Chain A
Amino acid sequence: MHDFEYCAPDSLKEAIGLMATHKSSARLLAGGTDLIVLMRARRKRPELVIDAKHIPELTELKINQEGLSIGASVSCRTIYENDQIAESYPALVDSTSLVGGIQVQGRASIGGNLCNAAPSADSIPTLMVLGAIANVVSDRGERQIPVEEFCVAPGQTVLEDDEILVNVTVPAPAANSGARFLRFIPRNEMDIAVANSAAYVELDETGKNFRSARIAIGAVAPTPLFVEDAGAALTGKPISEESILNAAVIARDAARPINDMRGTVEHRLQLVETLTKRVLNDAVKRAIGEKV
């Protein structure tokens, strides 16, 4: 790796000051499963690496009636091994338990997954459908950014050079709601998504109709994509094969995939439609209390 300085501030204030001074020449280090790999490949060359794992606000995991708050540096493994998250936000377990293998999951953070902004990032579609907010800070103040507006291009986010992602907050799940995330890879584990999809649904009291839905897809566009129209098409509709297919087709039509070593455009379009149908069906099951 290239030569760089390292520091491990133990307060957010100190980290904000460091970022304000060093801006783009400094980068935050959470689990390093993207940053260290990219530095070794000489694709990132920060002069200062700021360890984000000793900052209390970034390592905190809070869950209560209002919802969930996940510090940016909290690891995937900490998330999916948390019983309350498994109970109330199973789609987050779907996502975080798929990131790499055990070694990667022990280090890889939700904040790193979001800030690295890979089109295939497995936690982002789930955060989008759960209505997560990215809470960001710099010495110029705080900002709240809906996750669906966070990524702008492969590897690029709306963050300014001096901004720090503090945490992501997720509202408490509504009554009669459920969510699910799925991805397709050619083997069972340890690969990057060829396509992925997440859905959140809220049903009416009868459990037979959609009250609302949110759908997001990944690895089929330059960024993970929140497809508002696909979810909106389900509002007030009965739960049926037809309504679900219709929403999945809208999601597929929003996709703009590329051909690469992992899959072709055609394959990805077909996958994203199928995955979206499946996540919708599973989200409905979770909403009515069935285990998926």
Chain B
Amino acid sequence: MSKRSHITTTINNESVDFLCEPRQSLLEVLRDVLYLTGTKEGCNDGNCGACSVIMDGVLVDSCCVLGVEAEGSKIETVEGLSSKGELHPLQKAFLEQTGMQCGICTPGFLIAAKALIDKNPRPSEQEIRHWLAGNLCRCTGYDKLVRSVMTAAESMAEV
């Protein structure tokens, strides 16, 4: 077995060190080493977006990143969205607009939507649909998801 490496990262604004083998994906590290199980495994080959995280400001599928590649990087996961017990406007909007059913894809959609709003605070419906094309949902039919993101963007623009 390859030697485990000591990796230093910042996850949700906290410095986090972990040990991992080169063959462990960032997704496996998040879930199995750090117990940050909010990030979900869907297809495990880059198609479904359930494992989306933001890495150094870039939205990525954590199943297609090695844990060792995270050395020195800044990672945002769904666990970092709420602060001090207060839900993020995206989370509130997903609840209020029923932007979810079974829930497996939800963390990925939340993080992908966060990355979109970080870049483009008032996205159009078209822009949201295009941006979220890498996130699959088998339940909602997407309309409620898209509406949730629009509602959240509006409420964030108000404050």
Contacts and interface: CB of A to CB of B under 8 A. Distances in A.
Contacts of B44: 40
A191 to B, nearest CB: 10
Interface string A161-191: 0000000000000000000000000001110
Contacts of A188: 130, 133
Instruction: Classify the secondary structure of B's interface with A.
Output: mixed
B5 A6 contact: yes
A33 B64 contact: yes
B45 A107 contact: no
A106 B58 contact: yes
Interface in B51-74: 52, 58-61, 63-66, 68-69, 71
Interface in B12-53: 21-25, 44-47, 49, 52
B83 to A, nearest CB: 25
B78 interface: no
A104 interface: yes
Interface residues of B, number: 32
A250 B151 CA distance: 51
B153 interface: no
A3 B45 contact: no
B112 interface: yes
B1 interface: yes
18 contacts: A3-B21, A4-B2, A4-B22, A4-B23, A5-B22, A8-B68, A29-B66, A32-B66, A36-B65, A40-B44, A40-B45, A51-B69, A103-B61, A103-B134, A107-B58, A107-B60, A107-B65, A190-B134
